[in-house]
Amino acid sequence: ADPEPVQDFCVAAVTNGSADHPSYPGFPCKPASAVVSDDFFFAGLAKSGAAEAADSPFGSSVTPGNVAAFPGLNTLGVSINRVDLAPGGVNPLHSHPRAAELVHVVAGQMLVGFVSTAGTFYSKVVREGESFVIPRGLVHFQFNTGKEAARAVTVFNSQLPGVVLAAPSLFGADPEIPDAVLAKSFQVDGEIIKLLKSKFRN
Ligand code: GLV
Ligand code: MN
């Protein structure tokens, strides 16, 4: 999904650990003479997120391996995350505006699903060693259906897929979306919107 590279690599000189760097979608290149093997190496996903997942209200932890975390990915059009799910945990409904996502389960089992633009829900219980793919931009989740911790590696065809979390983007936006807009959009009473906002606004 990203632009074609015009050179072998362009290790990001600065990423600021953030998606809102002024030169996004690319980052300035570190001089090639200063590039070392370690620029193409990333150990950030070696660390387990199981404890964070067990502690989180969703029972999940996503460790990103996008260009902000791994500067060597700049201009290469790929990235990777680690998803840890406690039993019963969910990586909550979200979408990626800039990439398709390949979910490869490396431990346990999880229900992985997305909804197409036609409104069809596609899902599958995916087990260790198996994969499922999420088309670009579609809302999806992973839900641990097993009794043990589960883990997936997710791979994207973008260095920075972006993430729109469904509930926080609607009920936690800052400044807030007016209650009247949400109530009418969801065809519910304003009290329900206030309740949802109380969960997703800090
Ligand atoms: C999982 O859906 C992820 O975005 O890593
Ligand atoms: Mn995802």
Residues 193, 173 within the same domain = yes
Whole-angstrom distance, CA of residue 42 vs CA of residue 44: 6
Domain with 185 in it: 163-202
Structurally, the chain folds into a number of domains equal to 2
Residues 146, 198 within the same domain = no
Residue nearest to atom 3 of ligand 1 (CA): 154
Say if residues 153 and 141 touch (Cβ distance below 8 Å).
no
Choose one of 103, 126, 155 to mutate for the ligand 1 pocket test, by most ligand atoms within 8 angstroms of C-beta.
Answer: 103
Residues 74, 124 within the same domain = yes
Is the interface score ipTM higher than 0.90?
Answer: yes
Nearest to 15 by CA among 27, 7, 2: 27
Tens place of pLDDT for every residue, the chain, 202 residues? Answer: 798 988 999 999 876 555 555 444 567 889 999 999 999 999 999 999 999 999 999 999 999 999 989 999 999 999 999 999 999 999 999 999 999 999 999 999 999 999 999 999 999 999 999 999 999 999 999 999 999 999 999 999 999 999 999 999 999 999 999 999 999 999 999 999 999 999 999 8
Residues 88, 174 within the same domain = no
Say if residues 105 and 150 touch (Cβ distance below 8 Å).
yes
Residues 121, 22 within the same domain = yes
Residues 179, 151 within the same domain = no
Ligand 2 center to residue 36 CA distance, Å? 31
Ligand 2 center to residue 189 CA distance, Å? 30
